[in-house]
Structure 1
Amino acid sequence: MAQKSKKQPWERSLQASAHWRGWGLSEHYGKVRLKLQFPAGTGIASASATLPYPWAENSIQPVQGLLTRIYGPVMEGGVTLKAAISDVLAVSDHKADEVVTPWPGIITAFKDYKLTQGNRIAETTFDSSYGRYLNVALVHLQGRKAAQTGKELTRRVLAHPRVNQKPGIKQGEELKPWIEMPKSRLECCLALKKFLEYAVAEHRQPQTFLIGEKDYLELRGADGKRRKKAVLTDEQVLELIRLLPKTWGNVVKISRVFGVRPWEISFIALATNDAGEPQLRVTKGKTYTTRGGVKEETEPRWLEAVAVDGTTFDLEENWDQLTLPPTVSGKTLGAFLRRLPYWQQLVAEYEARGEWLRPYSFRDTFSVRAHGYAIDDTMIAAALGHSVEVHHRSYRTSEWKGVRSAFAQASSKRN
């Protein structure tokens, strides 16, 4: 017969808080559960309630204080156990329900808040930036061995074993835990920190779930080195266009010649500029959040062309006749590119020299080629639809071949 695990001294102290006859405390899914049991005929109804405190040593004092204050009203029979707890916590009936909201309910409420009241992010953004981490966190917030602090929870989530769940030959393949992936580790820590702050502030979860600045810096670790982005040659771009179906070949042409974001292709229209000339224009700006938390949108912009091996494919002249896929995004473009053995070969070649090739690389290639024309970086940033600060921080502006050429030209002029 299996022996029950020995109770810790603090557990005995916590249970001793309910020292009156008929009053008892136990652990219930990581929380403190209060149960009242009285013999028939005493005139006092038996009842139970989950208290808003974790089954942890630091709950001893607040639990003692709460029980001391509700004992009299409950034993006098004037109020129910739930009402007495609500009165002491000075919350409404609705808030009292929130006190014992299961963690899945808090995650649902947090998602609704982020989608409709907070930054008003898209559902896909929530799933990638929060959802995948909260799904794992839920595993460690429930059960008899539930995490009791924010720091403990974050450590468990970061080290949680992962496997590839996407259908295909790699399904079930072991993946690195997030703690070994600097970018994901940082994103995970930030997501859990924000979620737990919400849980404490809005659902009266214990303060122990808050992650202090010192612990947060320790958990997130050092920032990973930013990967160098790949820049495609004109020959590589032309080969990709040749190998792709016509509609997706047109997407690559537009992405490379005008440096647009893939999703912006659906919002390009031919219009008349202030010089009275026809010119392509992105009619919808990119939505972003300011440091003050306000959502804003960049201005629509006119598109400028950077030729591929001397050609712009007459995109502007033939815009209304171009055939395009029904839906264009970085994800859909990437799906078609990954089917090409040639793209797979390029990815491997660039990775071997420490560079990152992805659909967005057409945009970085536009940036480098535009800088090769000696165009002012302010103008290039405007053509790409972002600030100069973002341009310098996030985009390739040169490659060694161009650097060598520029210095050689400068040297020849001096001689």
Structure 2
Amino acid sequence: MPRQSKKQPWEKALQATAPWRGWTVCNERGKVRIKLQFPPGACIANASASLPYEWAESSRQPVYALLLKIYEPVMEGGITLKAAIADALAISDHKSQEVVTPWPGIVAAFREHKLTLDNRIAEKTFEASYGRYLNVALLHLDGRNAAQTGKALMEKVLTHQRVNQKPGKKHGEALKPWVEMPKSRLECCLALKKFLEYAVAEHRQPQSFLVPEADYLKIRGADAKSRKKAVLTDAEVLELIRLLPETWANVIKICRVFGVRSWEVAFITRATNDDGEPQLRVTKGKTYNTRGGVKEETDPRWLEAVAVDGSTFGLVESWDQLKLPPTVTGKSLGAVLRRLPYWQQLMAEYEARGEWLRPYSLRDTFSVRAHGIVQDDTLIAAAMGHTVEVHHRSYRTSEWRSVRTAFAEAS
């Protein structure tokens, strides 16, 4: 009866990472060891060397990547096995026993770095901006066809064929690869660039994974043209208020009249201002990252009203009796609006004009209407809770309807 091998499948796969005659990979005290054994008279001397990798399944990809780098230089006879290994790993002799972290470990470390040390971003932000791209990258950093350079990795991830993972009727349907989606393409390339720089600097991955600037700019493509954001008319806002339940209708009133972010609704209180008059105030500022990576909050602010068809709905006077949903976020407001046939109709109409309608459009609508009654844009930016630079970069300040009206009145 043939003798049964006690080796695990991954051990056989790890040994198979040295497919050339005379080259073998074996386990030596829990570490990976390379052995070169050739017949007498061969031009290549027999040699062996330990690698800074654990004898584990996770070492398959880095071992194979290393062997690809050193095979030709060693076989050409211009460098010894140990010298080739040291050059490829770019580590000094006194660090020769350090382990080059496998890619899954680097992803985990990078995630922890982003969440706790770098920008201290939220977990959901990491998953949206990095996690989904790195999950695909891991698929292309393992196996015999694994990417050997940062440029190759970017190209593989961008062209990776994706499928819909969400449960429902569309589960399993093919999705566009990120290379065909300008904004996702830019975000994917930036995420991989930052990750690979971290991998090389902090986890001793080869310099070949750094993407040259010229290659990076070429692969990521041109910046996508920003979508023009929709600005609602007063009649459209009033119709939304009429069609929605009272609690959500009140949210529409607040967001349009005061230009607040939807989540800020939960932090609005009524107080007495310096003139002794009642006024609404947002008590919690928006959190943002400084250039130094420190999280800060914008200052609390007083809210200024811009009427809808001449009305502010008595929001200040009736604030303490106002009925509101238990939780208000952009996501929850969007879910309510998307169920409304009238909102779906508006989305289609604005899209036909090349404009993007979303719940945040209420804030852009406030901005445009405010510019029609206030001349100083720094005051409008202050009322909306951001800098004037952010205001001009991120918000609508005019629309063709108001432009035509202003020129007609001037003439």
SS at match of 2:140: helix
Q: Deviations over 1:13-50 (max 9, x none)?
A: x969xx7xxx7359xxxxx9634599xxxxxx998763
Output the amino acid matched with 2:33. L
The residue type paired with residue 155 of structure 1 is: E
Q: Which residue of structure 2 aligns with residue 180 of structure 1?
A: 180
CA contact (8 A) 2:163 2:174 kept: yes
Partner of 2:284 in structure 1?
284
TM-score, normalising length: structure 2: 0.81
Q: Which amino acid in 2 is paired with 1:240?
A: L
Worse-superposed segment, 147-156 or 101-110: 101-110
Is contact 1:56-1:148 (8 Å) kept? no
The one-character-per-residue Cα deviations of 1:384-406 (angstroms, maximum 9, x if unpaired) are: 11111111111111111100110
The equivalent residue for 2:82 is 67
Task: Give the residue type in structure 2 aligned to 1:331.
Answer: K
Letter of the 1:119 counterpart = N
Q: Give me the whole-angstrom Cα distance separating, in 2, the residues matched to 1:301 and 1:65.
A: 69
Partner of 2:33: 34
2:304 equivalent to 1:304: yes
The size of the alignment, in residue pairs, is: 367
Over the matched positions of the two proteins, sequence identity in percent amounts to 69
Match of 2:205 in 1: 205
Residues of 2 paired with 1:132 and 1:119: CA distance? Answer: 18
Matched, 1:345 2:363: no
The SS at the match of 1:332 is helix
Q: CA deviation at 1:62?
A: 8.9
Instruction: Note the C-alpha offset of 1:244.
Output: 2.1
* Distance of aligned partners of 1:86 and 1:375 in 2 relative to their CA distance in 1, 3 Å threshold: closer
For 2:268 and 2:342, locate their aligned partners in 1 and report how far apart those are by CA, in whole Å.
Answer: 29
Q: Which residue of 2 aligns with 1:216?
A: 216
Tell me how far apart the structure 2 counterparts of residues 229 and 315 of structure 1 sit (CA, whole Å): 26
Aligned in 2, Cα 1:410/1:167: closer, same or farther, shift over 3 Å? same
**Closer, same or farther: CA 276–149 of 1 in aligned 2, 3 Å:** same
**Pair 1:66–1:234, CA change in 2 (3 A):** farther
1:95-120 CA-to-partner distances (Å, cap 9, x unmatched) read x24x1x33222111111110101100
2-structure distance, mates of 1:148, 1:88: 22
Shift in alpha-carbon separation, 1:151–1:228, aligned structure 2, 3 A = same
Note closer, same or farther for the CA distance 1:311–1:87 as it changes in structure 2 (3 Å cut).
closer
Q: Distance in 1 between matches of 2:94 and 2:73?
A: 15
Contact persistence 1:70–1:88 (CA under 8 A): no
* CA distance in 2: counterparts of 1:209 and 1:161, whole angstroms: 22
SS at match of 2:288: strand
Aligned equivalents of 2:85 and 2:147: distance in 1?
28
* 1:393 and 2:393 are equivalent in the alignment: yes
Kept in 2: contact 1:286–1:297 (CA 8 A): yes
**Residue identity opposite 2:258 in structure 1:** F
Amino acid at match of 2:151: K
Matches within 5 A, 1:4-83: 24-25=24-25, 34-36=33-35, 50=53, 54-55=65-66, 58-59=69-70, 67-68=82-83
DSSP-derived class of the 1:232 partner: coil
Helix, strand or coil for the counterpart of 1:90?
helix
Please say if 1:361 is aligned against 2:361.
yes
Against the structure 1 CA distance between its residues 263 and 349, is the aligned structure 2 distance closer, same or farther, given a 3 Å change threshold?
A: same
Matches within 5 A, 1:160-171: 160-171=160-171
Letter of the 2:298 counterpart: T
Q: Which amino acid aligns with 2:289?
A: T
Residues 345 and 378 of structure 1: is their aligned pair in 2 closer, same or farther, counting only changes over 3 Å? same
Q: 1: distance between equivalents of 2:185 and 2:85?
A: 44
Correspondence for 1:315: 315
The residue matched to 2:312 in structure 1 has which SS?
Answer: coil
Deviation at 1:209, TM superposition (A): 0.8
Matched with 1:380 is: 380
- Any conservation in 1 of the 2:165–2:171 contact (CA below 8 Å)? yes
**Aligned-pair distance for 1:66?**
6.4
Q: Cα distance, 1:160 vs. partner? A: 1.2
Paired residue type of 1:284: K
TM-aligned CA deviation for residue 163 of structure 1: 2.5
Where does the alignment leave 5 or more consecutive residues of structure 1 unmatched?
A: 1-10, 27-31, 39-44, 72-84
SS of residue paired to 1:24: strand
**Map of 1:5 onto structure 2:** none
TM-score (norm 1): 0.80
Give the structure 1 partner of residue 120 of structure 2: 120
Match of 1:232 in 2: 232
Report deviation, 1:56: 6.6
1:169 to partner: Cα distance: 3.2
1:248 maps onto 2:248 in alignment: yes
- Equivalent AA in structure 2 for residue 304 of structure 1: E
Gaps in structure 2 of 5+ consecutive residues: 1-16, 38-47, 54-58
